[in-house]
Amino acid sequence: MRFIVADWGTSRFRGYLLDNETILDEVSSEEGVSNLQAGQHRDVFLKRCGTWLAANPDAPILLVGMVGSREGWAMAPYATCPAGSAEIAEALMPVEIGNGRRAYIVPGLTCAPAPGAADVMRGEETLVLGSGVEDGLVCLPGTHPKWIEMRGGRIERFATYMTGEMYALLREHSMIGRPATEPEDSRGFAMGLEAAERNNGSDDAHHVGLLHLLFGARAAVVSGQMASNLLAPYLSGLLTGDEINGALSQFNRPARVTIVANSPRADLYVTALERHGIATTIKVPQGALIAGLFKIGRSRSAA
Amino acid sequence: MRFIVADWGTSRFRGYLLDNETILDEVSSEEGVSNLQAGQHRDVFLKRCGTWLAANPDAPILLVGMVGSREGWAMAPYATCPAGSAEIAEALMPVEIGNGRRAYIVPGLTCAPAPGAADVMRGEETLVLGSGVEDGLVCLPGTHPKWIEMRGGRIERFATYMTGEMYALLREHSMIGRPATEPEDSRGFAMGLEAAERNNGSDDAHHVGLLHLLFGARAAVVSGQMASNLLAPYLSGLLTGDEINGALSQFNRPARVTIVANSPRADLYVTALERHGIATTIKVPQGALIAGLFKIGRSRSAA
């Protein structure tokens, strides 16, 4: 069965013509949601995918990502966890593309990972549904890494960390990252993981806090106790380690985690999880996205 | 005895003419270290304090703060903890001001608050020596809050947190703070403190991590579960609470903390420490600075 889908995020548009899970053709542009005004989305979509649309008049159309946010084509309200492909298919948000034809925007998800807490995702629900994990913990590294608990093929709950954004803030806008030099010495990453582990270990006196460890990294460089080319990888290790400590606490420390990411980012998580004695499986994001969209599309057809 | 001193930080120059600990005259300008080029410091000092210098030819001259950093008048190498006024007086860094007269820059301090960790301060050593605390824990809130353990009138060790800078990063450069609205609802601060406490409490499953709680604050607002005018105070409470958790862990949870800060910043720490059952004493920074400089000056004269 033919599908036309788009992975439409903040900074990029990626369209795919699919035959089941096989990519027949693809197109990509910088027409991400943040680069478009209200009202432009339909035209962009028709311009990029018009040939496929004409050649496949019955193909279902699915759009996923920030295209469904308040700043996107149309606001697709968050569905609530637990949610699988059936619940997501039911909450698809239709938009008119002309001649009576409709595209469907995949809704994001919201959940309360812990009592009183709140979390949201938009786009990652599709990746994780396509990860092949029916029961277990899935990690999606990135600017805002997500940890997702799957149960019976549905997304039970999830928690987002601001690790990637925090690293960028520290490097680009903070005095913490200013003494960092290149070429980086990647051994700093393991040193950062170690510091994060001490901060979370059995000795309460070592629970000094992330905000101190970050300042201490700068202090170590300016006082000559750490080489400046270790600093950036150290900060990355410290933040990643702190994220993993938190995720393992709230998701009951499983024996295996599935990581949906490309190299080299996936490798950093493999290394970090190995230190906790946790095995890993790596899945490629593009494959997971296509598989997730196919699953949602099939649920829609079945409904 | 007359002293001429300057509190010379990154953004401001503040000169004082003192008779012991009494301020006879003062001057202030925006000629902070970050606004000056190498070679300009002497001229600024003579321009601002020349009258006092002429009228008090024998008065000792002390300069404190970032004026002693690599970007300042002259690099005054860090002294090592433990250090009291005697050790600091011994490490004063002379600079020539003309006619054979010298000013002395107060050195910063370095320490290893925990094995393998590093920390530095420059300026705060003088405030804490003037805080009147001989034995106990002192907190200096600010962009980079410092927690300082005093033992026998000397600075035993200290730890810096990047709390204030982190708050500014989140408000000014991050998507986390973007949904925040004004006028702020100050009840958010206590909600943030509560979240920080859960993150550090007896239930390991609640140790979700600061990087998740920060993202969760944004998620709560965009999903309609938290009013947008609570967000900024909530972030402040969360960061302050996380700092205090770390400081109490590494400094053995004392019964009382002395806070060197003006209102309303001092009041936030009083509120936060009250939740831990910890009593507080507030000291005014200007008084502490003058008292600290007087103590260092007296140690120098005695040497």
pLDDT tens digits for range A31-78: 999 999 999 999 999 999 999 999 999 999 999 999 999 889 999 999
Considering only CB atoms, A161 lies closest to which of B198, B209, B225, namely B209
Tell me the chain B residues in contact with residue A166 when contact means C-beta distances shorter than 8 Å. Answer: 211, 214
Q: Report the C-alpha dihedral over residues B111, B117, B122, B127, rounded to 10 degrees.
A: -70
The number of C-alpha atoms within 13 Å of A137 and in the hemisphere containing its C-beta is 21
Q: What six digits make up the tokens of B213?
A: 């709680």
Across the interface, do A209 and B242 touch by the CB < 8 Å criterion?
A: yes
B209 vs A243: CB contact, 8 Å cut-off? yes
- Does A246 sit within 8 Å of B206, measured CB to CB? no
Give the minimum alpha-carbon distance from B219 to chain A in angstroms, rounded to a whole number: 5
Alpha carbons B6 and A302: distance in angstroms, whole number: 77
The Cα-based distances of A79 to A71, A276, B75, B114, B224 in angstroms read: 18, 33, 58, 46, 13
B146-151 vs B154-160, strand pairing mode: antiparallel
Confidence of residue A303 (pLDDT cuts 50, 70, 90): low
Answer whether B113 sits within 8 Å of A216, measured CB to CB.
yes
Contacts of B200 in chain A (CB under 8 A): 207
What gap in Å lies between CA B240 and CA B20, rounded to an integer?
36
Mutate to test the interface with B, among A121, A147, A171, A212 (most CBs of B within 10 A): A212
pLDDT tens by residue, A110-124 = 998 777 778 999 999
Buried b (16+ CB within 10 A) or exposed e, B143-152: ebbbbbbbee
- Tell me the pLDDT tens digit for each residue of A256-293: 999 999 999 999 999 999 999 999 999 999 999 999 99
A70-80 in b/e form (b: 16+ CB < 10 A) is eebbbebebbe
What are the pLDDT tens digits along chain B (303 aa)?
899 999 999 999 999 999 999 999 999 999 999 999 999 999 999 999 999 999 999 999 999 999 999 889 999 999 999 999 999 999 999 999 998 999 999 999 999 877 777 899 999 999 999 999 999 999 999 999 999 999 999 999 999 999 999 999 999 999 999 999 999 999 999 999 999 999 998 888 889 999 999 999 999 998 889 999 999 999 999 999 999 999 999 999 999 999 999 999 999 999 999 999 999 999 999 999 999 999 999 998 876
pLDDT of residue B115: 72
Given the cut 0.85, state whether the ipTM is greater than it: yes
Q: Catalogue all structural domains in chain B, each as residue range(s) with its CATH number.
A: 2-132+285-302 (3.30.420.300), 163-283 (3.30.420.310)
Q: The whole model's pTM is what?
A: 0.94
Closest CA of chain A from B22, distance in Å: 35
What are the residue ranges of helices labelled H in B16-144?
41-55, 85-90, 124-129
CA distance A264 to chain B (A): 22
Give the nearest partner residue to B160 out of A113, A159, A219, using CB atoms: A219
Contacts of B207 (CB under 8 A, 6+ apart): A200, A245, A246, A249, A250, B199, B200
Are the beta carbons of B205 and A114 separated by less than 8 Å? Answer: yes
Distance from CA of B56 to the nearest CA of A (A): 37
Q: With an 8 Å Cβ cutoff, are A159 and B113 in contact?
A: no
